[in-house]
Structures are given as C-alpha cells and as structure tokens.
Structure 1
Amino acid sequence: MVSERLDRIIKAAEGGAAVVTVNKRLARYLSVRCEAAMAASGRAAWPTSVVMPLTAWLRGLMEDSWQEGRAALITEAGAASLWKKIIEEDKVIAGRKVLVGAGGWQAAASAYALMKEYCVKGLGDEIYLGAEALAFKRWSREYDKALKRLGFMDYSELPGAVSKAVESGRAVLPGRVVFAGFDELTPQRAAFIRALRQAGTEVEHWPSEPRSAPEEERFLLEKVKDRVELCVFGDIKEEVRAAARWIREVSASEKGGRVRLGVIVPELAGYRDIILREFRAELSPASALAWEDIQDVFNISLGSSLSEEPLVRGALDILAIGGWPEDIAKMGSALLSPLLRVNEEEGLALAALDAGFKRRKLLKVGLRDIRQELTAGGDEVLKAFAGRIGRWIEYLEGAGERALPVLWGERFSALLGGLGWQHGGESLSSREYQTLEAWRSLLAEFAALGDIVGPISRQDAVARLRAMAAEKVFQVEGVSDDCGAVAEGSGTVSDGLTAKEVSIEVLGMLEASGQDFDHIWLMGAHDGALPGPAAPNPFIPIELQRRFGMPRATPEKMLGFAALLLKRIFESARNFVVSYPLEIEGKVLALSPLLKGVGRAEEWPLSLTAATLSRAGRCSSSLKADTHAAFALEDMPLDGKIPLSKLEAAGLRGGTSVIKDQSECPFRAFARHRLGARTVELPEEGLDSAERGTIVHEALEFFWREAGNSARLRELKDRGELGAAVAAAAGRALKGYYAKRLPRRLIDMEGERVEALVAEWLEIELKRGPFTVVRTEFGEKVTVGGLSIAARPDRLDELEGGARVIIDYKTGACDKNGWLPDKLTEPQMLLYGIGSGFDAIAFASLKLPGTKFVGISKDDGMLPAVKSLNKETRWREKIEGVEDWDDLMERWREALTRVAEDFVAGSSGVSPSSPDACKYCELPVLCRIFEAGGLKLDGPEARR
C-alpha cells in the first residue's frame, strides 16, 4: 500500500522534479519506490527519476558549472590526513596531546563543518576563549591555508560554492526541487534554498516544512496511543529476541502482499551486535553454518568498520609484515589468513607450521625463518608456498625507504596479488566482492594523499591505510525490489515467506525519517536514549553553540529534536510496538518521558510484557525449536562407543594425564588423547609458569642426586655448605636457559628465587626422621584396566624401617581431594604406587612463603604435618567403606581400573566431574558445554 504522503513525492518525481534527500538511505528507498510505481503503472520504459542525497546533488551541480581555476573537493581521507597533520605539528600543544586525544581531529573537523553550516564567522575575542577553542582557531587557520595552497575545497563549503554558481547563472538547475527528510535547515542550507528560489526554481519540502520541535507532539501521541503496544523486558537480549520473533509472527500473518517492517533503535550502535546475532538465529538460523553463504533477510543501516572485514583485515596483516623478525602473534595472523592459502591442504600445513613455532616458544619469527622451515621439510605443498614467501621477501628488499602513497598503493596491490590474497583459491561471495571493491576504492583514496603527506615510509603507509580502513564504514548492499538489501530467495523469514515478500529494516531514528512501514517496533525507547544526552562540540564555546542552535548543544535541543523524530516515526506506520529494557549494564531505566501514556495497557507494564513474551515464545525459529528443544544444542543418539584400537594404544601419549582427563571429563580425554586436540598458547616474554616449575623440579632432582639421604642433608647443614649445594643445583637447572635469547639478569633473578625456595623447602625436609631418596624423576610403565601408561613420580623415599613414601613436587595449587576414588584428578602417584605399594603419598607444596607437605599416610609421624588415615577422619568419611590403609589401596586400584576401562571402551560423554573441570579447559569450542546450558560458572570463569 502506498501512503498519501509517499504518493505525493512519487508523483513529483514522475513529473520531473529533482528529489534531494537528507541521506543516502532515504534516497535509495524513494528511488526504489518510484521505480516500483512506474512498473506497477504498466509502463514498459520511463526516464530515470532524479533521486539523490544532497551532497551528491550539490557535487553534480558544481561539476556542471565547472570554472577554470576552481578548487576541487578534498576527499574524506585527504581532509582527515590534513587535520591530523596540522594537529600533530602544532607546537603550542606539543607534549600536551591529552588536550586532543586519539579522535580529536574528528571533533575539530566537525567543529569546522558546524561553523560553515551555521555561518559563524568567528569564535569571538581570544581573551574569552578556552584552550580548546584557541587550539581550534589555530588549526582552522592552518587548514584554510593548506586547502588554498593545495587547491582544495572542504565539503562543508560546497553549499556556499554552489549558491554562488546559482547566483551567477552558471548552475544548470531543474525547474522543481523537492527536499525530502529535512527536519531542520541550517543557515547555510537555507541560504542555498533562497538562491534556488531567486533563480526561478520551485522548491518544496517533503513530508512537511522543516521546523523545530512542533507544539502538537502530545496531541499526536494521544491520537496514536491505541495503536501502540508497550513492552518491557529484563535486558537488551530479551528485547531483541522478542522483536525477532515478532517479525516472524507478523510475517506469517500477512501473507497477502508485500509487508515492510521497521525496527527503529535510537541507540543502534549499542544494539547492533546483539541484533545481528539474535536476528540471524531467529530469522535465518542456517547462517550459523560456516559453509553456507546466506545473506541476512534483514537490513541493518549501521555498517561496520571496513578494517573488520576478513578480506581487508587479512590484507592489512600481510602488509604490516616487514623484512625483520616479527612478533609471533603478528606473523601468525598474516600466515594463517584463509584468503592467503591456495587450498585447504596448504592451510592446514601452514597452521601446523605456526603451531610448531609457538610450541618452540619463539617470540619472533621472520619471513626468512619461515622460508627455511618450508623448504627444509620436504613437503611439496609447503614448497609451493615457499616460492610465494620468496616473492614476498623480494618485494620487501626492493620496496625502498620512502615513496609517495600512489606508489605504495601500486606495490601493495602487486604484493597481495602475487600472494593470491584476493581469492584464496575460492570464488568470492557477494560480501567479499563488495569488500574487494571497497578496498580498491580505499587504495584510490590513499593514493590521492601524496600532495598532503608527501613521501612516507612503508610502515607509515600501512599505518595510514589501516587507520583509513578503521574509519571507513562498510555496508553490504543487496539486490531487492525494496530496501530490504537482500537477494531474492536468499532466505526465508517464516514458513517459506521469502525476503522478497518481507522487507525488514533495522534503522536509527534519523535514517527512518521519511520512510513508510506497515509495522514499526521502536526498540530501546528508554529515558537514557529518548532524548539522548547533550554532546556539545568541545572546540566551539558552548554559548556560541547555544546561540546558533547547533545540534546536540543543549538538553533542550536534544529534547526538541527527539520529539520531532518521534512525530515522523508515528506518521510512518499503522501499528507500533514500543519497548525498552529495565536495565543496561547495571543502570536502571524507565520509559522515555516523551512516550509517557503511550500504549493500550491499563496495568502497564506487566500485563503487556507477559502477553508479548508468551506470544513471542510461540513464534521461535522452527530450526531452533527443533535443535534447542531441551538445551541450546541438538540431542542426537550415538551409534555406540568407539573402543581404543591396538594401533591407537601403541601410540598413545600423555601418560597419567589420560587417567586425569578421563576422570575429570571423558570428552576431554577423548579429544586430547585420541583426536589430538591441543591448544596453541602464545609464547610469553621471559619464563612462563611451566618453565619456572620445571626449573624447581630439576634443581631438587640435581640436589638429591648428590645428597641422597637425610644424613647427608644434615651434614651439609651442620658444615654450612647447604647454601652452596643449593646454588650449585639451581645453577645446573638454569644452565640451558642462559643459552636462550633471554636477558641474563632475568635468569639470574630466577636463580635467586629458586635458591630461596629450595632452601626453605629443605628446612622442612630437615624436620623429618631418617630417610633415603631411592629414585628421582623416574619413569615406569604401569598397566591398569587394559591400558599401558607411563607413570613418572618426582621422587620415591624409603624411611627407616622400610616404609615407602611417594612425593610429587607442586609449585601450584595442590589438594589431596584429588585422590578421592570418585574424583582422581591427581592420579600420578597412585598409578605408580598400586603396582609396587607405598605407605604414604604427599605433595611437596613449593610456594613461598609456607612450603609444606600435603598428603596422607598409613601411620603417624611419617611426614611433617601429614596425618595418618585413621586421624584424617573428615577426609576418610568422603570415601565409603574405607576403614584402613589396605581398604584405601583397594579402592584406589578399583577406581583407576574403572577409569582406564572407560577410556579403552571409548566412553567420551561431555560429563565434567565438577564445574572446576571446565574452568581452565581449552576445549569448550568442541564440547560446547556452555551453549548446552549444562554448566553454570560464577566469577571470572563465567566471562571466559
């Protein structure tokens, strides 16, 4: 259905009027509706309607009225570079960059544009100006000088320049112009419109004359209140999900013809990511499948940064690599770009290469290192890639020191093309093709910066290109007979209803102005967003902004503008839903004061909230309903367990960690030890916690190999030689680390730490009765439950009288509850001991201060502070049916056998023994336990 107001502008366009819009989106919408009206009238051909945004129209008028010597328009990138350069070179604020900040140039450029738009000649006497205004005054002067020197004109000067062309008669003007969607006219635009009228052009405004906040807003809301449903939700996620399900419901109920749905969000930037996720899940759930190239069935007006697109991010990562060793994370990002590999086989080989570098704890890797690894391996797949690496190195060697941006742009394109970056062996999707076009456009803008920045280094060129990509908004455009921005048949919204039949627009309030919808959901309509907070420009005195009525200058201005936009929205559809969340990031919210009294509910808000949630729940996605019936995942019956084969058993690695993992979570054991799933940690600068633990272990091992027993320990202590023996052991443990590329002082400091720790520990050992260290760091094969495992206890002691004690060094947390038969998270000492027998087991807790033994023994007095089983009543009560040491040994044997048999049988369920098992597990992306809702974590772990 075409509304009366839309029919009016369509007829104006048909009559030859130029339709000039406030933004690109409205131009696209009106252009599509005009073309659709022409087609619906039965015409076979018709002249193209002139519908375009104001800036594009002004640029066209200026080009048509070309004059020799006239300044050219500076590009957005050129203006940005010029502002940044002027601010960076300002000697007055040198050393006080905090005045400006990272995005200060944008605020300065905005202030410059506002001064032009509101025809403000100056900021006033300098004596009354603050530091920000004085700085802006200097920058503006320098900016004007630079524009004049370079022969450029800023875009903010375009209306004034075209006005002069109109007044001089040089401009080629249409007989009639309709300005669409302009709620307010700045003095500059008003002057331009006067020039048009004086030149004989008929000027109209659509949908109504521009004005400030009208008087009848309350009256308007009273008129529409019975067509508005008011909903309140606990949080944003609930609100967005309900809106998605509302779309499904409305789409399904209006199959008779084309339906346009508008979701309008005052603070769209804060909602964007949640809308994308929840709308895709509800409206096109198959888009979650990585192998499906599915366009969204909705269009969101707020684009993302071009630098966030994988194609561009990969290009920038590649270009950032220099001819010297780079940080391993930086090199890995470039090396693993999916758009760099020729095929999947090459991608997997490169991933293995990257993982190898990281496991070797290399902090920096260069292209030459990579080429050497590729050619030495004998892998034909990687040898082909080595050739491309060679061309990469040749490019860097021949790149030179400094060059103009246009030359860098050519070199960058040649390098990326030579590396196969554009396609990665696969055809481009629609989004990737548009990204590639945006990238080429960006390179063209970058190439035009030569007059402004002059010759620059490669690093500076890449940094500027990255900054430009981050500032460039990228919006995917689709093919549609409306503004849905989706390809015909690219997806279904509900029960087979195609995107061609349903246009779903997600818009900010400004973008929505002027468009018509069948239904509108106004989302996030709380008191913090409607009206939004005032945000005056920091570089223009607030008194000046208030006097000229500049946008966002005062709360009154924000209130009036929000009321005006709401008026436009409530004129745009026949049915409305208004909603808001009760809380955002801990801040309690209320309904916007502009909307008080809206809605059909007498018992607002609870009655409508319950009804809407109930109805929305019935409209959930059919695919999600099937796969998320009980949890967030589909439950599928398994055909059966996959027993451990003889071949697998022969090559099984991991030692006692197989039992530990199987006990904590069968899936983890299956994934790690049978599938070979491993996380690849980034190497740390210096020594990581694992290396520091190994050094302590080795220092104690070296010490006891020399000392051998408690008598020798006592002798060293009495002679005053214990410190020297400890230092010698620590030195031997650290010997290999001095050969690494680590600062010597760092290793020396680690040696001091290890000596202090070992010395304190030996004081604990001196409190023991006589003992002999039988073995240290020894490995032994143990067979349990049909599984052959290598057990490697840190130490086995024999006490006077023949009792045997197994000791495990722990530099981290230790808990004897890990030996409970139903838990078995610390099986190493138990696995060794069940075969040969033992009389005590203990962790040597090596943490300063407070080193100690943590364990359990058969009899009292075997280890300092370690109680016998009989006296550990609280711990013993956790094990049913254990009365003495022999019972405990049997229970351990049974538990170890059961866990081993489960692993051999192929038990691999996602069933963690406790939430602690998942806290630091690296495999949730495989088991998806958090999506399944099978585990709840509190604290920092919940945010992992």
Structure 2
Amino acid sequence: MAPETTGSRYDLTPLLPWIEQGFTLLTPNLRLARRIKAEWDQRQQAAGLRAWQPLPVHSLEGWLQSLWQQRCNAEPVLRRILLDGGAALALWQQIIDEDQRRTGYHLLRTDAAARQAQQARDNLLRWEVAPNGTAAAEFALDADCSAYLRWHVAFDKALAKGGFATALDVIGLLAATPAAGHADRKALLVAFEEVPPLLSSALSAHCVVVEELPPPPPGAARHAIAYPDRKSELTAIARWVKSTFDGDPRASIGVVLDDMRGDRQRLEYLLRREFGCLDTDYGTLPVNFSTGWALAEVPVVRDALAALEAGGRQVPLESALALLRSPFLQLPDRHSPLALDFIRKLHDHGREQVDGGALRSLAADLRLGEMLLEISTWRELHEAAAPSVWAERFHAQLALWGWPGERSLDSLEYQQVEQWHGLLEQLMAYDAVCPSLDQSGALNLLRRCAQDASFQPRTADSRVQVLGPLEAAGLQFDHLWLCGLQASQWPAPARPNPFIPVALQRRLGMPHASAEREWSYARNLLSQYRSHCRMLHASYSQSVDGAPELPSALLDDFAWEDRSVTAGPPANWQRQWQARDIEECEDQLAPAVDAAELATIRGGSALVEDQSHCPFRAFARRRLRLQPLSEPSLALNAAERGNLLHRALHIIWEELENAANLAALDANAQQQLVAAAVSSAFETLKTARRVAVGHACIEQESRHLAVVLQQWLAVERQREDFVVVAREQRVDLDLGALPLHLQVDRIDRSAGAEGVTIIDYKSGNCEPRSWLGERPALPQLPLYSLASESPVEALAFAQVRARKCTYKGLGARAVAPGVNTDIARATRGKEEVDAWEDLLAAWRNNLQDLADSFIRGRAEVDPLNANSCTWCGLQALCRVEVDHSAPASADEEGAS
C-alpha cells in the first residue's frame, strides 16, 4: 500500500529487515540514495543517538565505481585515467572530425553526432554488445552505423593508447575481473525498473547475494485533469502546491515535469508568485528543483563568456552588447551617451557576427575600446596551447575586465563564480585528449563545458520537490502531480539511436528502441509513482503550441475531474490590488510643443505619418527621440533596397528628362542606361555594408534591380507625353504651427497640362486608399500636394516591384494607366467627396488636424490598425498589449 502520512520523507519500514542483515542498499540515482540516508539519520537522531554507523546506501553505478577504485588501490597496475563525460565527448569530436577529413562521410553537426556516438557506445557497453564482434555484419548494412563502427574502433584505440577509461569501461573491467574477499557482500536493489546486463554482471561478480526490494502495491487515489493549454496547467499546479503546502504542513509534495527544460522556468515564476518570493524574498521559495540552470546561462558566467569572446576574430553581436549591459565588468562609461551611440552603430553594422577589428573601431571612444585594443596586443592569444594553459589565459583576461565587478555578489552569484573557477580548473583534465587548441577551439570547449555544467543553488531541503520523470522514480510523496501527460509524450515516441542497427536495439530492448518498449517503460514508471504516494494527480494540455492534444492512454483508469483555473494573478495579488489606496490619473496629453522645442524637432512626412498611425509613436520618436534599433541582416534590408531604387530612378530621369527621349531609346541603349544607373546607385552604399552583405549578395541585388527597372520603364512607355520637371525636390510646408521639410520623389507635367503630377516611388504593395480618412496611413503624397506651388492634377504611387510594376493613383486627369479619376467611387466609405478639388480640401483639413494634435501634445497609445504596431518597435515602452485595468498577469511578467 502507499506510504502513510507520518511527516517523514521516506518510509524505511520495508527496508529494515535487509538493513539488519547488513545489506548494502543500491538505488537507480543519487537523489533517492540521499533521501534514504537523510531519513535514516533523522531516525537515529530521534532515537536519541549522538553517533551511529552510516547507512550503506549508494547509487548503483557510483557504488560499482567505488569498488573499482578499491581494486586499483590494491592493484595499482589496473589503474586508468578516468575520463568524465565532457572529456570523452571532446575525444569523440576529434575522432569524428578526423574521420570526415579522411573519408567521404560528412555531417552537418559533428557536436550532435559526437553526443549520439557517446550514447551509442554507452548503450552497447550496458548491454554487453561488442560492435566489432558478431554484430559487425549488422553494422555494415547501414552507412551511419558503418561510420560509427569506424569511430568506435578509433575511440577504443585512443583509450588504450592513453590509458584512459570511461565510467562504464571500469564497470566492465570490474565485471570481467571478480575479486576475492566479496563473500560477505550483499546488495539490495531499491526502486529499479530494470538493471542493464553490464551492471547485473558486475553485481554478480562482486556480491554473494543480490536481492530486489518488492515494490509496494499501487494504492494511491488517482485523479486526472485536462487544461486548455500549458499556461493554464502550470498556473493550476502552482496554486495547488501553495494550497496543499498551507493546508497540510506535514505533507511532502512532488511535481513531475515531463519537459523539465521547457517548463521549469515558467513554473518557477508561477511558484514564486504564489509564495510571494519575487522581490526581496527571492531566496525564500520553499521548493527544491532537481535540475538547475546551465552554468553558461547564469548572468555572471554568461557575461564572462561574452568578455572572453570579445577578444576573438569574430564576435557575436549579442556578446558585444552584453559587455555594456553587464554589471560584472568594470566599464564606467557604459551608461554614457557615447555608449548609446556605440550600440546604435553596432546594430547599424548589420551583422550577427562582428569582426574583431571593426568592433574595436566602433568602440574606440569608450573604455570598452581601450580594453579590446589591449587584449588584441596579447600575442599569446594567437598561439595554440593546451586547455590548462588556456584556463590561465582566460583567468588573466577576466582579471583585465575587472570581472566579477566591484559590487558585492549575492549568495547565488557567489556560488556561480565559485563553480566557474572550478570549471576552469577542470579544463586541465582535457590536456590528455586536447593537447593543442587555438583561441576559438579553447573558447568553444569552455562554452560547451559551461553549457553542460548545471548550476544548482545550495539550499535547505524542502518538502516541495519539482523533478523530472526519472528523478522522481522511487521517491515517496504524500501528494504527487504529473504534468504534461499528453498522448504524444506519455509514452514518449520511439527514438532509436541512429548509430546502432535498429533491429539490434529492438532485439535487446535498448532505451527508446521501439514504441512497445516506451509503452512498457512509461506504464511501469507510472505504476511506481502510484506505489509511492497517497494522492496522485495527473494533467495534460489540450493544446500545445497551437496543436490539439489527447490524454495519454495510461490515464484511462484515472478518475477525471472537471477543474478549471482562472487566468491571471493569484488571490493575494487580487486582494492587494482591490485594497490599494492610490490616486489614479489617466494622462494621455503631453505638454504642448513650445517654440523652443519646435525649433529642435526634425521630421517631414514621417512625423505626420507617425501621428496618424499612433499619437504615442509620434511623441516617442519626435519628442523623446527614441528610435528602435535596426535588426542584423545578412542581406540588404528593405530601406536600403528602397534607397537604391530611388537613386537609380533619379539617375535614369536625370538622363532622359521626358517621355520622348525614353521612346527614342532602343533596347540596347535602354539596357546600358539601366546598367549605368544601377552601378552608380550601388556606389552610394557604404563600404561597411558592402563588406557585411558580401559580393555575391551585391551582385544578386544589382541584377534584380536592373530587371525591375526594365519592367518599370515598360510601364512608363505606356503613358502619354510628359516631362519630368523635378526629381527629389526639397519643399517646405507650414502645416498650421508645424513646419515640415519634405522631399518629393518626382514631379511630372503632362503635355498641354497646367497642373503637375506628383509621384512617390514604392517598392512594396501600396494603395491610394492609404491617403484617405481622418488618419491617413500614408500621408506623404497628400502632404506634397499641399506644398506644391503648381496646381496638382494627380497623385500617384509608382509601384516598382518585380512583375507587379504599375501606377496607382487618383486625380482629375488619367495621366497614366492606373490613375483613377472617379473620385466619388474611389473614396467611398472614407471621404464624403465627389470631386478632385473636394478631396484636396479634405486632405488639408485632415492633415491640419493631425499637425495640431501633435503640437497640442496628444500622445495616447491609439494604433490606427494592427499593422501600425508591426514595425513600430516601441511596444516595450507603450505596453500596448497590457490591460492596465487589472494587476499584471503571468504573461505580462514574463512567465511565458
């Protein structure tokens, strides 16, 4: 039956008969061994003892390795250099890289292949399979398995040559060499689902008796609950933990997360929110997590890695930016205006990888630039060396940066820095397998070690545990909740190792080899959970990443509950919000623009466009002078392509001047004109951008632009006779109190016309309806019409777009194909006008109102439409998606 609630963390009663007979207790993992030991120690203390014999309880593999160490101490000739997982992985990587150089077998990601090869060898050792023995014929039938066989042989040779061994190798040696004097060893296996043949052989060779603790019969009450999505499921779990924690002070509580990596951070936030541990009480959360964070991802180590990467030939953009954000580096001017200018220039550089020389140049005015320049003079950084030497070099580099900073570290940061120093010391163990590395190789090795290392804060034991499925096996709880039991995950899909023949894996029952094996394993694991708790809850999400999900078939005999969770903050937050005593002031009106400020405001049609799309956007960009940073791009961005198009058309019409000259061009002459215009346009592109995007990209963009221009000139030939009277003409417009400085792409005059046609080039899709309404989405052309000294007879977009070149416009006269003269029909639903003159008047009124609202300080967050926010880039400032009428929800606080 399930354990009774006694306030203990583990019921030792079933183990006592074996403990009294002197059995060594062996568990599948160290966590369970520690739990049993802690309960035994508490039991002795409760009995009034001040000293007692420690309970012999160990993880199985750890105990076998300790037996091997004892053998080596007695017989030094057996001693091997034990490689940890990281060093073994580095050796696999070297072997695979060398194999690729010698053979035609190539991989996209050798790091992933190295991990799978390491896993394949471990599985073969555990199941006592010699791949170059009787199974060799099966490996030869598959290209991947055949390649692995070469690597396996090379790996074994490297181990033998260096006197190395992995943890499983020494267990294999132990199994093959029974030692005398083990007649009194008796072992009890606790909470095992299966024992691989290798471990079973080692036990048989070194124990006279091996028994297994019978599992208690499943006795937990079982309840299953469905939630609409993962957010609702995790929110419900966090609230259940808090409620159970408060309602039963003696109960032990467990939560099993099927996706520990994906859900741990979200659940931790929700738990902190429920327990009120988000701010000053951050360290008081009464919950233990079985897995920590990757050491490379904690801030103090992340910034240390960024500082080391900054001395390389190529520096990731994020690493360069992290330097200025970091409180762990001594850069006193990181908040100065020069630093802000550096950040903008770094983004404008346009690459995700920044050349080391370019980074030094961009940061020349900062302390950062001085540091980078000094590091660049260190000759030893350009010399290959052993990992232990690189550890010393990295330590010296970080000392130059002043890492980990001047301020006092908190407890977590102190522990992280301690673990980092230990990681640098561990690099010395790689000397045997990586005798010589350049700077890039050493950094990659260090980053991989930091990524593989888990930081687990040192905290007191808690009665609330959050664990992965395997880590929870064998542990006892009063209340246990299994999260994420979708049919697609429980049981897990079969994932046979690609480097071992699938038939062989299935025949031997290796992990993840078949759906049948996964079903049996998941069923047995669930049975074990049921045997080790009083109350078992299971839940699943009906939708994951937008895809519908069904419950696991393993939940068929559970009692289903109809339980819902209300999205939003916990009850204590709601109570605080409702009891708040604050004055609310909804102020969406900024101070009016006075004459002094007006003289400093820069902006043409874009200012009015911002005010039309969202008053706050205009306020933030034009008055606060906030501009979103440009995104890195491996190619030319839309703005650069648009500028090149404008420049090329400017050159073409500078040469042609009118429709008659265009008509006189033959195909060859037109091609030469277009080629010259494209070449001249690309000469205006900055050298840094040319280098950033590369020659191949420039060539491709040049050819594309030439093709589009040829298509556009074909459209121009369809027009009636016209003369280009202005190109990129600068004009001024006083729109009420708001002075605007505009630049018109092109102004034409048709033959015999008194008025002009104003043209705006567009490389994307565009429609004249974007000029209409009280808040026109694209007010440039209407503004140009107000600024024109000559009568305007038409406005037109020149849509210069591959295979979609056309004019789109409105006017009193059809000056080109695509210019609509039916004003009433074209403006229906947007403007109540019937004639061109009425539309011009409506534009003046609408644009005047926009200008006046900007001058008055109107600055509310009021997007014109959904597209207004798409490219705005100011959402972090305006919080347009936040409901300010209630306390922040989990999403708004970053829980998802």
**Inter-partner Cα distance in structure 2 for 1:748 and 1:513:** 60
The match for 2:820 among 844, 853, 867 is 867
The answer to whether the 8 A contact 1:791-1:832 is kept is yes
Who is 2:60 aligned against? 54
The match for 1:250 among 244, 250, 254 is 244
Residues 161-208 of structure 1 deviation map (CA, whole Å, 9 limit, x = unaligned): 556887334x8x99876544333333443344445543xxx8765xx2
Who is 2:418 aligned against? 437
Who is 1:658 aligned against? 607
**Inter-partner Cα distance in structure 1 for 2:622 and 2:787:** 24
What is the Cα deviation at residue 569 of structure 1?
0.9
1:864-903 correspondence runs (5 A): 864-868=817-821, 871-903=822-854
**Inter-partner Cα distance in structure 2 for 1:363 and 1:184:** 48
The answer to whether the 8 A contact 2:759-2:795 is kept is yes
Q: Please tell me the residue identity of whatever aligns with 1:892.
A: W
Aligned length: 863
What secondary structure, in the 3-state scheme, does the structure 1 residue paired with 2:566 have? helix
Who is 2:684 aligned against? 736
1:235-634 correspondence runs (5 A): 235-254=229-248, 257-269=249-261, 271-272=263-264, 274-276=266-268, 278-279=270-271, 286=278, 297-321=286-310, 324=313, 326=314, 329=317, 332-333=320-321, 335-336=323-324, 338=326, 341-342=329-330, 345-347=333-335, 349-359=338-348, 365-372=354-361, 374-375=363-364, 377=365, 382=366, 384-395=367-378, 397-420=379-402, 422-470=403-451, 472-480=452-460, 482=461, 484=462, 503-541=463-501, 545=505, 548-584=508-544, 589-599=549-559, 605=560, 608-609=561-562, 612-613=563-564, 616-617=565-566, 620-622=569-571, 625=574
**Inter-partner Cα distance in structure 1 for 2:415 and 2:699:** 56
Who is 1:807 aligned against? 759
The match for 1:184 among 188, 191, 194 is 194
Cα distance change, pair 727–623 in 1 and its aligned pair in 2 (3 A): farther
Who is 1:670 aligned against? 619
Cα distance change, pair 75–686 in 1 and its aligned pair in 2 (3 A): closer
What is the Cα deviation at residue 3 of structure 1?
5.7
Tell me whether 1:695 sits opposite 2:653 in the alignment: no
Who is 1:941 aligned against? none
What secondary structure, in the 3-state scheme, does the structure 1 residue paired with 2:481 have? strand
What is the Cα deviation at residue 841 of structure 1?
1.5
The answer to whether the 8 A contact 2:9-2:39 is kept is no
What secondary structure, in the 3-state scheme, does the structure 1 residue paired with 2:425 have? helix
What is the Cα deviation at residue 821 of structure 1?
2.5
Q: Please tell me the residue identity of whatever aligns with 2:488.
A: G
The match for 1:229 among 223, 232, 257 is 223
What is the Cα deviation at residue 664 of structure 1?
0.9
What is the Cα deviation at residue 73 of structure 1?
1.9
What is the Cα deviation at residue 450 of structure 1?
1.8
**Inter-partner Cα distance in structure 2 for 1:413 and 1:252:** 47
Cα distance change, pair 872–453 in 1 and its aligned pair in 2 (3 A): same
What is the Cα deviation at residue 583 of structure 1?
4.3
The match for 2:862 among 908, 911, 929 is 911
Cα distance change, pair 58–277 in 1 and its aligned pair in 2 (3 A): same
Deviates more, 1:13-22 or 1:667-676: 13-22
Tell me whether 1:79 sits opposite 2:88 in the alignment: yes
**Inter-partner Cα distance in structure 1 for 2:875 and 2:76:** 66
Q: Percent of counterpart pairs with the same letter? A: 29
What is the Cα deviation at residue 323 of structure 1?
5.7
**Inter-partner Cα distance in structure 2 for 1:549 and 1:692:** 58
What secondary structure, in the 3-state scheme, does the structure 2 residue paired with 1:897 have? helix
What is the Cα deviation at residue 231 of structure 1?
1.1
Q: Please tell me the residue identity of whatever aligns with 2:81.
A: A
What is the Cα deviation at residue 29 of structure 1?
3.1
Q: Please tell me the residue identity of whatever aligns with 2:681.
A: A
Cα distance change, pair 52–931 in 1 and its aligned pair in 2 (3 A): farther
**Inter-partner Cα distance in structure 1 for 2:343 and 2:109:** 40
The answer to whether the 8 A contact 2:26-2:60 is kept is yes
**Inter-partner Cα distance in structure 1 for 2:349 and 2:549:** 52
**Inter-partner Cα distance in structure 1 for 2:155 and 2:488:** 37
Unmatched runs of 5 consecutive residues or more in structure 2? 1-5, 886-895
The match for 1:150 among 140, 162, 176 is 162
Cα distance change, pair 688–561 in 1 and its aligned pair in 2 (3 A): closer
Cα distance change, pair 180–439 in 1 and its aligned pair in 2 (3 A): farther
Who is 1:24 aligned against? 30
Cα distance change, pair 424–808 in 1 and its aligned pair in 2 (3 A): farther
The answer to whether the 8 A contact 2:10-2:476 is kept is no
Residues 365-415 of structure 1 deviation map (CA, whole Å, 9 limit, x = unaligned): 55455445555x4xxxx2x434322331122x2334321121112112211
**Inter-partner Cα distance in structure 1 for 2:106 and 2:673:** 56
**Inter-partner Cα distance in structure 2 for 1:726 and 1:134:** 57
Cα distance change, pair 265–93 in 1 and its aligned pair in 2 (3 A): farther
Residues 121-175 of structure 1 deviation map (CA, whole Å, 9 limit, x = unaligned): 6651644543455555544443333223222222113345556887334x8x998
What secondary structure, in the 3-state scheme, does the structure 2 residue paired with 1:776 have? strand
Deviates more, 1:675-684 or 1:90-99: 90-99
What secondary structure, in the 3-state scheme, does the structure 1 residue paired with 2:684 have? helix
Residues 604-638 of structure 1 deviation map (CA, whole Å, 9 limit, x = unaligned): x5xx22xx10xx33995146647999xxxx99643
Cα distance change, pair 457–473 in 1 and its aligned pair in 2 (3 A): closer
Deviates more, 1:340-349 or 1:257-266: 340-349
**Inter-partner Cα distance in structure 1 for 2:125 and 2:700:** 63
What is the Cα deviation at residue 57 of structure 1?
3.7
**Inter-partner Cα distance in structure 2 for 1:624 and 1:322:** 47
Cα distance change, pair 239–832 in 1 and its aligned pair in 2 (3 A): same
The answer to whether the 8 A contact 2:185-2:206 is kept is no
Q: Please tell me the residue identity of whatever aligns with 1:263.
A: V
The alignment yields a C-alpha RMSD, in angstroms, of 4.1
The match for 1:780 among 728, 731, 735 is 731
What secondary structure, in the 3-state scheme, does the structure 2 residue paired with 1:515 have? coil
The answer to whether the 8 A contact 1:13-1:49 is kept is no
TM-score by length of 2: 0.84
Q: Please tell me the residue identity of whatever aligns with 1:414.
A: A
Q: Please tell me the residue identity of whatever aligns with 2:33.
A: A
The answer to whether the 8 A contact 1:796-1:806 is kept is yes
Residues 630-681 of structure 1 deviation map (CA, whole Å, 9 limit, x = unaligned): xxxx996434522244343222123221111111112222222223322222
**Inter-partner Cα distance in structure 2 for 1:707 and 1:119:** 82
The answer to whether the 8 A contact 2:95-2:151 is kept is yes
What secondary structure, in the 3-state scheme, does the structure 1 residue paired with 2:432 have? helix
Cα distance change, pair 845–561 in 1 and its aligned pair in 2 (3 A): closer
